[in-house]
Amino acid sequence: MKNFAQIDENNIVINVSIANDNWDSTGWIEYTNKACGIGYTYDVIKNIFITPQPYPSWSLNSNTYLWEAPTPKPVEEGKRYTWDEATTSWVEVPAL
C-alpha cells in the first residue's frame, strides 16, 4: 500500500488516499516519509508537506519546516501551557 496526496493549483492538499500498486495515481503525489493531511501545503522544490500554520504569529522554521511560536514554550515540571494568540504568549493551563 502507498500513500498519495492530491493538490490544487495553490499546492494545498485537497485529498489523501491509500492505494495499492495497481491504482492509477495520475495527478497524485506519492509520499512516504512524513504524514500528510487535507489543508497541508506541498513544497514542490523541497518535496515536503507543511502543516497548516497554527497561529498567525507563528513562523515557519526554514530548516525543520515546523511552525514555531515567537517565544519558546516554558518547560516546568508538573505544569502545562497553551498558546494564547491574543497576547502572543504561553499561558499556564490550570490543574484539574
Domain that holds residue 57: 53-96
- The reply to whether 14 and 58 lie within a common domain is no
Taking only the tens place, the pLDDT of each residue in 28-63 is 998 887 789 999 999 999 989 999 999 999 999 999
Are 46 and 24 within one domain? yes
The residue among 69, 85, 83 whose CA lies nearest residue 93 is: 83
CB 70 within 8 A of CB 88: yes
Same structural domain for residues 39 and 60? Answer: no
* 65 plus 96 within the same structural domain: yes
% the chain with pLDDT above 70: 100
pTM of the model: 0.79
pLDDT of residue 27: 87
Kindly state whether residues 37 and 57 are assigned to the same domain: no
Same structural domain, 9 and 48: yes
Residues 33 and 46 both lie in one domain:
yes
- Tens of pLDDT along 58-89? 999 999 999 999 999 999 999 999 999 999 99
Cell numbers representing residue 94 in the block: 490550570
